[in-house]
Each structure stands twice: as structure tokens, then as C-alpha cells.
Amino acid sequence: MDKTVKIKQSFEKKYRQGYPLLTEEALVSSGKLHEEGELLQVVTEDGDFIGYGYHGRQNKGVGWILTHREHEAIDQRLFDRKLIEAVGRRSAFFLDETTTAFRVFNGEGDGIGGVTIDNYAGYYVIQWYSRGVYQFKDYIVHALQTYTDCIGIYEKKRFAKKGEYVEDNDFVSGEEAPSPLIVKENGVNLAVYLNDGAMTGIFLDQREVRKMLMDHLAADRSVLNTFSYTGAFSVFAAMGGASGTTSVDVANRSLEKTSEQFRVNHLPVESQKIIVDDVFVYYKRATKREEEYDVVVVDPPSFARTKKTTFSAAKDYAKLLKETIALTRTGGTIVASTNHAGLSRKKFRSFIDQAFDEAGHTYRIVEQFRLPEDFVTLEEFPEGNYLKVYVIEKLKAKEA
């Protein structure tokens, strides 16, 4: 028998319209939830049926609604149906031989909040965002084995605390992937590691931004890539004919990982600069030396603390942009990105405005990006549409 939980009357409309995330504030007595993974029948205060879901703690939520069908049980068939639908929606991706890494299942966007599945050239990586959703592992692994051509399956458990990764052997079943595994994205090679910690080496949600850099932004331009991680933006810029790239990341591993991404594309590593340093420290030096770049990519994490600096996107992005503007040639372009769900599009726009205002320059937004098509989101759940990327041209100085 499922546990019954009631939605407060003031939240009823939102849930009837399809809002999938169960939150403490919306439930009449969330204290009733004890065991992660337990199944829930969600009803209104009057006892009208809204849906079935499960209990799992993750960020702001305490669970997800999985179905609004009163006669549907949460069993293997439900997971099969959701996976088949998700795969069907992405048939164009499965057919595209120039891009072999993409998201196959995007949590609530595909009907099961708390879990995502990515395809890396036939090896699938499942990410579990709560202990609760992890209870469905057998169903989901079985569905993958039955309805996809997966060669091997890996998993990332992101529920140690607040979405943190549980250090573990991530291999689940099938064949193990080579290390590195080379995947393709719009014809470009990318080296990924499926069993080497929380991250694989690329962020699949930036695919369209990388393509834009390669296809029509980087040619004959000098490109500075900050918070560069494995240098994916730099590699696409170089593939697009950049006159030079400079990648800056504070993590020691970024030097070897970035060199590797160039090598697997047969690009000469010697002509690319890879700098291991704190971006804010690097900015000070670069400003002193009056360095200028034609294109600067800024894609910081939502929060970061290094030995020397702390950064919070919601608080410090305007300042970061202002310093970025100083290093960008007038007429040059800044690609400003944030994946912080807590920083709204509107607020991010106001940061851009503020930064250029303080820098004393005019600007023009040339293009903007959101999540790509394989990162399916729900209109009823705008928080899930977290990626905001603006391509901004730095124009002439403001007249006094």
C-alpha cells in the first residue's frame, strides 16, 4: 500500500497543472516521509487523486511525481514506457554519426525526476540524484538493457549530501569502456573517462555553444577560455580556425586533460596556451599586461572556493563580467554562461547590463542559448531549464 501524502490547497492548482517536484512547503505533513524510495499516492486536501510518486531528498525537493494516471502502477512497465518514449524523442540523435554523446533521459523532463542518463558512444552513464531514486536501479538498468543497444552501463551516485558524488567504482554492467573513451561531437573528438570521479570530461549541455564557436565565432580570432576544465571550448575554437587559444583553470588536472583533447584531434598542442591558475589571479596579471582577446568564454561553476578566492554566481557574476570586459577587445565577443538554477535569466541579464555600465561600454546581445533539445524540460518546471548563455559583442565606450 502506498503512503498517502496531501498537497496543501494553496498549491493544488500548480500540481494539477503538472508540477512534478514534491516540496516540503507544499505537503500537509511532510514529516510523514521517512524511507527514501517509498512510493507515494499524492492527493488534494479533499482526497482527490493527483498522482503517484516516490520519496527522495534532493536540493529543494522531497520527492517526484512519476505518473498522473490513476491506474498506472510504479513497476517495470512504467520505467519501460518512459525510457521507450525518451529514446523515441531522440531518434535524430541516435542516427547522427557525427555526434555520439548526448543525453538519453533528462529526469523530470522525461517523466522521472532525480535521474539522468547519458549516452557516450554506446556506453550509458546513469546519474542518481537521491537515495530514493536509486531504489529503482534494477528497473532502470533492466529497461536500458532491453530497449537500447548499450554496450556497458556506468553510474554516478550524487547523493552523499546535497548532490555530492559518492566515491565508488562506477561500472555497473556489460562491457567496460576504454579509458579514455573517444566520443564525437559534431565531428570533433572528445576524450572522456567514465570511471574517474563525478565528471566525465565534457558537459554535454554546452554542445550548441561549442558548435557556434567552431562554425562562426572563432575563425582568425584569439580566444580566452576561462574555467576551462578539459578545454572543450578551446578545442572547438581551434577546430574553427582560432588564431590561438588560452585556457585557464585552477585544477592541476586541467593541463593534462586539455592537452589530451587537443591531441585526440591532431591539433598541435604547442601553439595553444594552457594555464593552471585561479582565473581571478590570472585576470589581474593579464590586465596589468594589457592583454586583449577577440573572444572570451566565461563559464564558471555556481560556487567555487580556491585557496585565494571565492565565487558565487548569484552574487559575483557582474564583477567577473566587468573584469572580463576589460580583457576583451572593443568589437570582440564575450560568451557568458551560467548553469546556476538559482540565478534567473532576468537577473543574469541585469548583471550583464550592470557590468557593461560599470565598464563604461555599450554592448549588443548577438545570440542566446538554452539547454539543447536532448535536455528535455517541462514548461511546468522552469527551474529545470537552468542553462543560460549569452553571446555579447563589446561595442564602443559610452560617451560621458
Contact with ligand SAH (CB under 6 A) among 185, 299, 323, 374: 299
The DSSP 8-state label assigned to residue 215 in this structure reads I
Taking CB under 6 A as the criterion, the residue among 58, 206, 222, 261 binding ligand SAH is 206
Do the Cβ atoms of 345 and 383 come closer than 8 Å?
no
Specify the length of the chain in residues.
400
CA–CA gap between residue 31 and residue 44 (Å, rounded): 17
Cβ contacts of residue 140 below 8 Å, gap of 6+?
79, 83, 115, 117, 126
Contact status: 200 vs ligand SAH (CB under 6 A): no
The backbone torsions φ and ψ at residue 233, rounded to the nearest 5 degrees and listed phi first, read -65, -40
Is 304 a binder of ligand SAH (CB under 6 A)?
yes
- Which of 112, 232 has the CB closer to ligand SAH? 232
DSSP state of 262: H
203 binds ligand SAH (CB under 6 A): yes
- Tell me which H or E stretch contains 319: helix 313-326
Nearer to ligand SAH, 127 or 148 (CB): 127
Q: Which stretch binds ligand SAH (CB under 6 A): 20-28, 50-58, 297-305, 378-386?
A: 297-305
**Choice between 118 and 299, CB closer to ligand SAH:** 299
Q: Which of residues 208-267 bind ligand SAH (CB under 6 A)?
A: 227-230, 232-233, 249-251
Residues 6+ apart with CB under 8 A from 379: none
Binding to ligand SAH (CB under 6 A) within 338-397 occurs at: none
- Write the single-letter amino acid at 18: G
264 versus 304: smaller Cβ distance to ligand SAH: 304
CB 133 → ligand SAH: shortest distance, Å? Answer: 24
- Cβ at position 161, least distance to ligand SAH in Å: 20
Under the binding rule (CB under 6 A), the answer on residue 301 touching ligand SAH is yes
Query: How far, in Å, CA of 45 to CA of 66, rounded?
Result: 20
For residue 303 the three cell numbers come to 560556487
CB of 18 to ligand SAH, least distance (A): 32
Distance CA 313, CA 238 (A): 28
Q: How far apart (Å, rounded) are the C-alpha atoms in residues 94 and 100?
A: 8
Look at residues 328, 321, 331 and name the one whose alpha carbon lies nearest to residue 290: 328
Using CB under 6 A as the binding rule, whether residue 171 contacts ligand SAH is answered as no
Interface mask toward ligand SAH for 263-292; x: CB under 6 A: ---------------xxx------------
CB-nearer residue toward ligand SAH: 136 or 282: 282
Q: Which residues bind ligand SAH (CB under 6 A)?
A: 203, 206, 227-230, 232-233, 249-251, 278-280, 299, 301, 304, 306, 309, 311
